[in-house]
Amino acid sequence: MSENVSEQFDVIIVGGGPAGLAAGLYAARMKLSAVLLERGPLGGQLLNTELIEDYPGFESILGSDLAVRMGDHARNFGLDIREFQSVAEIDVAGDGTKVVRLEDGSELVAPALVMAAGGLPRRLGVPGEEEFAGRGVSYCAVCDGAFFKRQELAVVGGGDAALEEGDFLTRYASKVYIIHRRDQFRAQPVLQDRARANPKIEFILEAQVREIAGDQAVQRIRYVQRGEEKELQVGGVFIFVGFLPNSGLIKAHIDHDEAGYLLTDRNTQTSIEGLWAVGDVRAQLTKQIATAVGDGTTAAVAASQHVEQLKDRERRASVA
């Protein structure tokens, strides 16, 4: 593609998780010219969850299977899905056109954009974390759990992800320690009950990890519990302490909260007209598949109305 040529669409969707896929499905159903860009394989956070049990209509379904079904469904309605397309930045031209520049130098433009880029795992920020990334430090149990058969592991965090992934890791590990800085978990009660019923799981509460250490790979962690310094021998550390939203991709000023999550109105539109934020990148109460799908649906319908209004305005101007 020539550097001077931009591909034009009615709507661009950045992110291929459940929010982006729902937006893409509805945009395609409404006959918009729509493209979905995903930096990796389709599915987003679905691919980091082995078993999903809280999505209506499925008592349980593999995250990877749900990703495939959602992708196939959207493609069947004509959505242009492009995997392994890394976005460098998103900008807004003077006339309101949304400009998406990819890492390969190509450019896509549209009057409407749905930001569904989710986030990246939040780091603990302790010594040894970066050094042992990929050598015992992981942020995805489904991706890496099988590498730790018959080992003792530590999971850091107290939310849904920490308890779900901790339970999953007991398939491989001989023991899993779940370390949480507070005295109570934030996870759903059903997940807490399941973890407590698992004989391979042990809780370490009111504790903060200070260091991840080892020789060639992780061998131990050091933590402080109620003022006392302690050490735990483990072969791996799985960190689930939240996400950092990928809102920084947007070059133009956009309203966000102190954590970087994008602020929206009831239709998920941001402070920039014609730009919607959905799923994990948006400030909201819950971060679940069901709410992500709802976000995507709302954004697509609103984007369709926006595009049609612009086209009507252009038609009236040409007649005049």
CA trace torsion 237, 245, 291, 190 (10° rounding): 20
Higher pLDDT pick, 120 / 163: 163
CATH ID of 137-239, from 3.50.50.60, 3.30.43.10, 1.20.1250.20, 1.10.3720.10: 3.50.50.60
DSSP 111: S
Which of 35, 109, 41, 17 minimizes the C-alpha distance to 79? 35
Q: Tokens 């019923």 appear where?
A: 197
Is residue 20 very low, low, confident or very high in pLDDT (cuts 50, 70, 90)? very high
Can you tell me the distance from the alpha carbon of 209 to that of 221, in angstroms, rounded to the nearest whole number? 7
206 in Cβ contact with 225 (< 8 Å): yes
The half-sphere exposure of 217 on its side-chain side, counting CA atoms within 13 A, is 13
| Structure tokens given for 45 | 């956070």
pLDDT digits (tens, 9 = 90+) for 96-126: 999 999 999 999 999 999 999 999 899 999 9
Is residue 2 very low, low, confident or very high in pLDDT (cuts 50, 70, 90)? very low
Q: Which of 99-103, 125-129, 242-246 has the lowest mean pLDDT?
A: 242-246
The question of whether 143 is a catalytic residue gets the answer yes
pLDDT digits (tens, 9 = 90+) for 30-76: 999 999 999 999 999 898 888 888 899 999 999 999 999 999 999 99
Is residue 135 very low, low, confident or very high in pLDDT (cuts 50, 70, 90)? very high
Residue 1 has pLDDT above 50, yes or no: no
Q: Fill in the amino acid letter for 239.
A: I
Instruction: Give the Cα-Cα-Cα angle 254, 124, 176 (nearest 5 degrees).
Output: 130
- Kindly state the helix (H) or strand (E) to which residue 135 belongs, with its residue range: none
pLDDT at 64: 94
Catalytic residue among 54, 80, 91, 140: 140
Q: Are strands 7-8 and 107-110 parallel, antiparallel or unpaired?
A: parallel
Catalytic residue among 65, 80, 91, 144: 144
Can you tell me the distance from the alpha carbon of 180 to that of 177, in angstroms, rounded to the nearest whole number? 10
Catalytic residue among 72, 104, 143, 257: 143
pLDDT at 50: 82
Can you tell me the distance from the alpha carbon of 202 to that of 166, in angstroms, rounded to the nearest whole number? 10
pLDDT at 137: 96
| Averaged pLDDT for residues 255-278 | 97
Instruction: Check if 7-121+243-319 and 137-239 are the same fold.
Output: yes
Query: Could you tell me which CATH number the domain at 7-121+243-319 has?
Result: 3.50.50.60
Can you tell me the distance from the alpha carbon of 240 to that of 243, in angstroms, rounded to the nearest whole number? 8
DSSP 139: S
Is residue 4 very low, low, confident or very high in pLDDT (cuts 50, 70, 90)? low
pLDDT at 221: 97
Burial class (CB in 10 A: 0-12, 13-18, 19+), 60: exposed
pTM reported for the whole predicted model = 0.82
pLDDT at 3: 52
Is residue 212 very low, low, confident or very high in pLDDT (cuts 50, 70, 90)? very high
Percent of the chain with pLDDT over 90: 88
Domain ranges of the chain: 7-121+243-319, 137-239
The question of whether 144 is a catalytic residue gets the answer yes
Is residue 285 very low, low, confident or very high in pLDDT (cuts 50, 70, 90)? confident
99 in Cβ contact with 107 (< 8 Å): yes
The question of whether 80 is a catalytic residue gets the answer no
